[in-house]
Structure 1
Amino acid sequence: MSVRFQRRVANLLCRALQFLLPPHQCDWGLAIRAELEALPDDTQALVFALESFRGLAPRALGLLLMQPFLSLMGAEVRASRASAGAEGGSGGGRGPSPVGVLCAVGAVVMGLVYMTLVGAPVRYLGSNVGALVIGLVLLALVRRIPESVGRGSGALILGLSALLLATSLLGLRVEGASRWVMLGGVVVQPSLVLLPLMLVGFSRTRTPLGTMGIVVAALAMALQPDRAMAAMMATAMATVMATRASRSTSLAFAASLLAFVVTLLRLDTLPATPFVDQVLYSSFAAHALAGLAVVAGLFLLLVPVLLAGACDEHLRPACFAFGAAWLAAILAAAFGNHPTPVVGYGGSAILGYVLSLSLLPRPVRQGTGSTSEAPDKPPASRDLHSKIALA
């Protein structure tokens, strides 16, 4: 290992540690970096960086994993709202409210109850739980991305649409449909993971690149073909156009509506898959409690939309697009052989739901007294972080 390479690895470890550390521990990262630059010997610097990363990275990752649950416990709600207000107004910050995370967890739990009662394989339950954990980790990572990065959301939507188009051309083909890819031995439906995120993101940006991405995604849904996802697109774009009409939203809606019509004209001969399709009916046939669990889980998916009235008016289209997208997915699962989102077996919908939560605006904090008191209580938040890190 060359001397120069050792120094580069040490700097890379230091930067990774700075990214992982929570805001109230950023001083530690700066101190470690300053100490690293003060070491003249590259080998000694690498050893110091490795020891620092080994000592702090597990705790930082633990805090990152627990971040959604910390919000539920109220540990950082006041601080995050105060920082959001300092950056340009309350209610505009990204990231789900605690209600959104609770709904995701509750819907998955209802799905586990359903699958347990109807005798689904245990690995199905483990797959859904694993998808939820991965989704929460990704959610915590997305929330750490600065708001300024959101300016490139149009390019991101276009890039994700290219992945959907590639899936329609090169993905696994079953009964004439090409909607899936194989990742590490696991079958994933990219449209269920990426499309909800793209639709909510477009409702907040509506840039030319974002519009082009929606058009490409509509083409992909028509080629796959996938009626459920095309219906999700058309419904969400109709909601966006109704709340804020423009040339870009009209073009996006026209493309998504055309894709939906194409999917209706093309044959869809895929049979129903147990524990995935027609869950709303098969659950009641198996056990009344299983059916009630499915209904409760599907209802929880739409609860975050009820917070739309508490958001800034210019951010409400994101909430409406979110609700319209998942309502369309639920209705498609009820009327056809399409995956029942979140409560049925399949991690793609769980990932898609949790990721789409990341772009929902936070509700506006009523009153200013509590917001001004936020900076006065950092010790309690730090104590809670420390306890969870030690655990």
Structure 2
Amino acid sequence: MSAGLRRGLADLACRALQATLPPSLHSWGWAVRCETAGIPDDTKALLFALDSACGLMPRAVASHLLQPFAWLTGDGAPFSEGSIPMTIIDAAMRRPRALGIACAIGAVVLGLVHLVIASAPTRYLGVNAGALAIGLTMLALLGRALPLGRKWVGGATIAMAGALLATAFMGTEVEGISRWVRLSGFAIQPSLILLPVMIVAFSRGHSVVTTAGVVAAAAAMALQPDRAMAGMLVLGLGTLAMIRRDRHSIVALTASIAGFAVTLARADPLPAVPHVEQVLYSSFDVHVGAGLAVLGGSILLLVPAIVGWWRDIGNRATYAAFGAVWFAAILAAALGNYPTPIVGYGGSAIIGYALSLLALPKLAGVGASAISRVRGETVGTLSDRHLLVGLA
């Protein structure tokens, strides 16, 4: 790429950013453009312009999305820097776990909208709402008691793998498939609860113990068999292996591929259950509003991974694993008769999504983005509690 082209692209990125930013953020756009113009090296100027765009664009998009609701402030003025909505957006962007909580709540609400439009039994709505309450409660309790990175991670991984193996041998069996455990009349799918947090936690740090736990989980998916969860394991570990090619990742990925191959060889005759499987298609047959609710809720599941990838370079492997895990769950629901996560009926995926947030950092690193350069601010201290209060 020639120097002139790099400089032209940098200027184009700055102009696009200026055109996108709302009036309250125009001064930031000018500051980014001026600083870009002052960088003599064309490559560094282009990288700075792109980094600035990635840092400021989420705020700009959020501001435009919230614009129709500006009348709630009482004067019809657009949301400005320092306003409650923009403070909430700032906190969410900086705190991946809190952002995940907001996305979980939004996805469950959209799922309830779909279930209401689709005339699902009222009990289904209660189960999904109750699962959200249970998942967030577990997240809060475990988040305080078990700081990630301690020795308990290895033991917890082995315990979770043992639970998945126990499900394969002693779980509720339907047509030769054993994926569920019955508790108080409800069918729970342990793999949807435990496997996502195992994969995302594995991305934060490997050891012989955690690798053994993941290998045992791959064997459990083959024994159950569970093609969707085995595919989740392959996609999640494959994504990690591409980012960090270490021995533990390769061993775990090899075991997951072998387990997935076994599930492909074994029959999976279970039909689709209404409001649980094939929801991505059946919802549009019911009503376009239900279909859009399902689609929007599914997209929300990936937002923490996308935002974290752009804002927290040091933890990209974790965000990539998180995004791969839930993308795999959505893809499996689109391709076969497997539960549609969060937006379909079933509490296991809701609890699993909440628990997988445990492995995300509480605070994202901002780095040398345009926000910190222009504003001269350090990372904020707004707590998750304040964010949740603001959302409420």
Once the two structures are TM-superposed, the CA of residue 173 in structure 1 deviates from its matched residue by 0.1
Q: Report if the CA contact (8 A) 1:221-1:227 is conserved.
A: yes
Residues 251 and 148 (structure 1), Cα distance of their counterparts in 2 relative to 1, 3 Å cut? closer
Distance in 2, matches of 1:332 and 1:243, equals 23
Say if 2:308 is the partner of 1:308.
yes
Q: Supply the AA of the counterpart residue of 1:343.
A: V
Which residue of structure 1 aligns with residue 365 of structure 2? Answer: 364
Q: Report if the CA contact (8 A) 1:154-1:202 is conserved.
A: no
RMSD over aligned Cα, in angstroms? 2.9
Which residue of structure 2 aligns with residue 133 of structure 1? Answer: 133
Say if 2:269 is the partner of 1:269.
yes
Residues 218 and 285 (structure 1), Cα distance of their counterparts in 2 relative to 1, 3 Å cut? same
Which residue of structure 2 aligns with residue 334 of structure 1? Answer: 334
User: What do the CA deviations read for 1:45-65 (whole angstroms, capped 9, x no partner)?
Assistant: xxxxxxxxxxxxxxxxxxxxx
Once the two structures are TM-superposed, the CA of residue 243 in structure 1 deviates from its matched residue by 0.5
Q: Describe the SS at the equivalent of 1:267.
A: coil
Query: Which moved further from structure 2: 213-222 or 313-322?
Result: 313-322
Q: Describe the SS at the equivalent of 1:165.
A: helix
Say if 2:85 is the partner of 1:115.
no
Residues 212 and 119 (structure 1), Cα distance of their counterparts in 2 relative to 1, 3 Å cut? same
What pairs with 1:252-263 in structure 2 (closer than 5 Å)?
A: 252-263=252-263
Distance in 1, matches of 2:298 and 2:148, equals 34
Q: Describe the SS at the equivalent of 2:210.
A: helix
Q: Supply the AA of the counterpart residue of 1:226.
A: D
Unaligned ranges ≥5, structure 1: 1-71, 82-90
Which residue of structure 2 aligns with residue 11 of structure 1? Answer: none
Which residue of structure 1 aligns with residue 185 of structure 2? Answer: 185
Once the two structures are TM-superposed, the CA of residue 238 in structure 1 deviates from its matched residue by 0.1
User: What do the CA deviations read for 1:116-155 (whole angstroms, capped 9, x no partner)?
Assistant: 0010000100100000011111111122125376332122
What pairs with 1:270-289 in structure 2 (closer than 5 Å)?
A: 270-289=270-289
Distance in 1, matches of 2:380 and 2:221, equals 49
User: What do the CA deviations read for 1:11-32 (whole angstroms, capped 9, x no partner)?
Assistant: xxxxxxxxxxxxxxxxxxxxxx
Say if 2:217 is the partner of 1:217.
yes
Q: Describe the SS at the equivalent of 2:180.
A: strand
Which residue of structure 2 aligns with residue 55 of structure 1? Answer: none
Distance in 1, matches of 2:151 and 2:212, equals 16
Distance in 2, matches of 1:252 and 1:148, equals 20
Q: Supply the AA of the counterpart residue of 1:182.
A: R
Distance in 1, matches of 2:121 and 2:348, equals 18
Q: Describe the SS at the equivalent of 1:363.
A: coil
Residues 180 and 74 (structure 1), Cα distance of their counterparts in 2 relative to 1, 3 Å cut? farther
TM norm structure 2: 0.70
User: What do the CA deviations read for 1:64-84 (whole angstroms, capped 9, x no partner)?
Assistant: xxxxxxxx9969x98xx9xxx
Distance in 2, matches of 1:141 and 1:310, equals 29
Once the two structures are TM-superposed, the CA of residue 101 in structure 1 deviates from its matched residue by 1.3
Which residue of structure 1 aligns with residue 74 of structure 2? Answer: none
Q: Report if the CA contact (8 A) 2:97-2:358 is conserved.
A: no
Q: Report if the CA contact (8 A) 2:148-2:359 is conserved.
A: no
Which residue of structure 2 aligns with residue 27 of structure 1? Answer: none
What pairs with 1:193-232 in structure 2 (closer than 5 Å)?
A: 193-232=193-232
Residues 311 and 120 (structure 1), Cα distance of their counterparts in 2 relative to 1, 3 Å cut? same
Q: Supply the AA of the counterpart residue of 2:364.
A: P
User: What do the CA deviations read for 1:219-269 (whole angstroms, capped 9, x no partner)?
Assistant: 000000000000000000000100001111000000111111110110000
Q: Supply the AA of the counterpart residue of 2:342.
A: V
Q: Report if the CA contact (8 A) 2:309-2:319 is conserved.
A: no
Q: Report if the CA contact (8 A) 2:139-2:355 is conserved.
A: yes
User: What do the CA deviations read for 1:137-192 (whole angstroms, capped 9, x no partner)?
Assistant: 11111221253763321221111100000000000000110000012222100000
Q: Describe the SS at the equivalent of 2:329.
A: helix
Q: Supply the AA of the counterpart residue of 2:207.
A: T
User: What do the CA deviations read for 1:264-297 (whole angstroms, capped 9, x no partner)?
Assistant: 1100000111100010111111111111111111
Unaligned ranges ≥5, structure 2: 1-84
Residues 149 and 271 (structure 1), Cα distance of their counterparts in 2 relative to 1, 3 Å cut? same
Residues matched between the structures, number:
298
Which residue of structure 2 aligns with residue 85 of structure 1? Answer: none
Q: Report if the CA contact (8 A) 1:154-1:205 is conserved.
A: no
Q: Report if the CA contact (8 A) 1:276-1:345 is conserved.
A: yes
Q: Report if the CA contact (8 A) 1:96-1:358 is conserved.
A: no
Distance in 1, matches of 2:224 and 2:162, equals 13
Query: Which moved further from structure 2: 279-288 or 236-245?
Result: 279-288
Q: Report if the CA contact (8 A) 1:153-1:205 is conserved.
A: no
Q: Supply the AA of the counterpart residue of 1:144.
A: R
Q: Report if the CA contact (8 A) 1:157-1:213 is conserved.
A: yes
Distance in 2, matches of 1:234 and 1:294, equals 25
Q: Report if the CA contact (8 A) 1:97-1:363 is conserved.
A: no
Which residue of structure 1 aligns with residue 42 of structure 2? Answer: none
Q: Describe the SS at the equivalent of 2:104.
A: helix
Once the two structures are TM-superposed, the CA of residue 360 in structure 1 deviates from its matched residue by 1.1
Distance in 1, matches of 2:324 and 2:153, equals 21
Residues 146 and 341 (structure 1), Cα distance of their counterparts in 2 relative to 1, 3 Å cut? closer
Residues 191 and 364 (structure 1), Cα distance of their counterparts in 2 relative to 1, 3 Å cut? same
TM norm structure 1: 0.70
Distance in 2, matches of 1:146 and 1:227, equals 31
Residues 155 and 122 (structure 1), Cα distance of their counterparts in 2 relative to 1, 3 Å cut? same
